[in-house]
Structure formats: C-alpha cells, structure tokens
Structure 1
Amino acid sequence: MDAALIAVLGTLLGSVVTHFFQARSTERVAGLARAEQLRQERISSYSAFAGALFDYRRSQNDRWFRAQEVPGSSQAEEARFASYEARISARQALARLQLVCDQAETRQLAEAAFELANCLHESVDEEDRDRRSRRCKDALTRFIESAAPSVR
C-alpha cells in the first residue's frame, strides 16, 4: 500500500512540476509574441511617419515654389491645399508613432522634424527655403537613427 501511495504522490508531484514549467513556457512564448508584435507595429508606424513626413516636406517645398511663381494662382492654391492633406497624413502618422514609441528622445525628434516641415512654406527666399528643407531632412534622419535600434 505504501508503494501505491508513493506512486500516486510521485505522479501528482510530476503533474504539478510539469504544469509549473508549462505555464512558465507559455508565459514566455506569449511575452515574446507581444514583443514581436510591438516591434512590427513600431516598424510600421516609424516607416509610415518617415514616408508621410518626406511627402509633407515635398508638398511644402512645392507650395513655396508655386507661391513664388505666381502668388494667388490656381496652381499656388492647389499646392497649398495639397500641403494641407500632406500635413494631415503626417500628423496622423505622428500620433500613431507617439502611441507605440516608449523613448522620449525619439518622440521629441519626430515632433521636431514635423515642426520643421510645418514651417517650411514660411521661408522668405530661396536660400532660407533650402536651409529649412535641409534642416527638416536632417531632423528626419536623426529621428530614423534614434528609432532604428528599437526595431532591430
């Protein structure tokens, strides 16, 4: 009878230990899956922001050029409205980025790049526009360099 009791207790102990290790393994796998999902979301949101900001910068440059060529023309107005649409896309991408980015410095770099693009059309001359455009591009590059390690 003692042997049967020991066998039952051994089986129960084995079941408890197996359950414990399976639970830990399941938690670990779930944690890895969450981390990978977040990494994929970051890649998606960071690249969407970069693409939207490149487009916004381009549309702001186009807006400036059209306004310089013939102020108030239909082409200048079309370029202005196109820049508004690009700004909306860039702002949406920035908001999505802010939701998934847990690094304050990276968020600040993204926000700074957006603000530089936002003010580009206010340039007073070609030299100022070129300087602002380069600053915006450089700010976006700094954002990408800051964000890259978190998605590798």
Structure 2
Amino acid sequence: MWTAVIAVVGTLLGSVATHLFQRQTAERSAVLARAEQLRQERIAAYSAFAGALVDYRRGQNDRWHRAMEAPGSVAAEEARIDSYRLRSSAHQALIRVQLVCDDPQALDLAAAAFEVTNCMHEAPDETDRSQRSEQARETLSEFIGTAAPGVR
C-alpha cells in the first residue's frame, strides 16, 4: 500500500514540476518574442526616419538652390511645395521613433536632426547652407550611432 501512495505522490510531484517548468518556459518565450518584436519595430522606425530625413535634407537643399537661382519661379515654388511634403514624411517618421525609442539621448538627437534639417532653407548664403546641410547629416549620424546599440 505504501508503494502505491509513494507512486501517486511521485506522479503528482512530477506533474506539478512539469507544469511549473512549462509555464516558466512559456513566459520566457513570450518575453523573448516581445523583445524581438520591439527590436524589429525599432529597426523599421529608425531606418524609416533616417531615410525620410535624408530625403528631406535633399529637398531642403533643392529648395534653397531653386530660390537662389530664380526667386518666385515655378521651379522655386515646386521645390518649396516638395519640401513641405518631405517635411511631413520626416515628421511622421520622427513621431514613430518617439513611440518606440526609450533612449532619451537618441530621442534628443532625432529631434535635433529634424530641427536642423527643417531650418536649412533659411540660410542666407551658400556657406551657411552648406554648413547647415553638413550639421544635419552629422546630427543624423549621431542619432544612428546612439540608437544602433539598442537594436543589436
């Protein structure tokens, strides 16, 4: 009789231990899946932001050049309108970065890169425009360098 009791108790203990291990494994898998999903979302958001900001920077340079070459011309007006469209895309990408990034330094750099790019068309001369364009490129590179470790 004691043998049967020991067998039943052993079976129950084995079932409880198996259940606990399976639950712990499932919870660990869920945490890892969530972390990987967030990592993928960050990669997508950061790369979309970088691409949108590169396009916006190009548009701002184009806007400045068209305005300097022929102020008030059709080409200058088209470049200005295109820069608004590119700014909207870059701003949307910045918002997406703000939603998935938890690094305050990376967030500050993303906002700074957007703002520097946003002000490029206000440059009074070629030297200042070139400096602003380079500053925008460098600030974006700093953002990428700061954000990258979070997705590796």
TM-score class, shorter = over 0.9
User: Over aligned residue pairs, what C-alpha RMSD do you find?
Assistant: 0.5
Residue identity matched to 1:151 = V
Where does the alignment leave 5 or more consecutive residues of structure 1 unmatched?
none
* 1:54-97: CA deviation from partner (whole Å, max 9, x where unpaired): 00000000000000011011100000000000000000000000
For 1:51 and 1:19, how far apart are their aligned partners in 2? 48
Q: How many residues align?
A: 152
Counterparts of 1:76-115 in structure 2, within 5 Å, are 76-115=76-115
- Aligned pairs for 1:1-152 within 5 A: 1-152=1-152
Distance 2:117 2:24 in 1: 48
Q: Structure 2 CA distance, aligned partners of 1:137 and 1:85?
A: 20
User: Runs of 5+ in structure 2 lacking a partner?
Assistant: none
Give the CA deviation at 1:2: 1.7
Q: What's the offset of the Cα at 1:50?
A: 0.2
Matched residues in 1 for 2:43 and 2:115: separation?
22
Query: SS in structure 2 opposite 1:102?
Result: coil
Instruction: Measure how far apart 1:15 and its partner are.
Output: 0.3
Cα shift at 1:123: 0.3
CA distance in 2, matches of 1:72, 1:27: 63
Question: Which amino acid is 2:101 matched to?
Answer: C
Q: How far does residue 5 in structure 1 lie from its aligned partner after superposition?
A: 1.3
Instruction: Spell out structure 1 runs of 4+ moving beyond 3 A.
Output: none
Q: Secondary structure of 1:134's partner?
A: helix
The 3-state SS of whatever aligns with 2:144 is: helix
Once the 2 structures are TM-superposed, how far is the Cα of residue 9 of structure 1 from its aligned partner?
A: 1.0
In structure 2, how many angstroms separate the alpha carbons of the residues matched to 1:63 and 1:40? 34
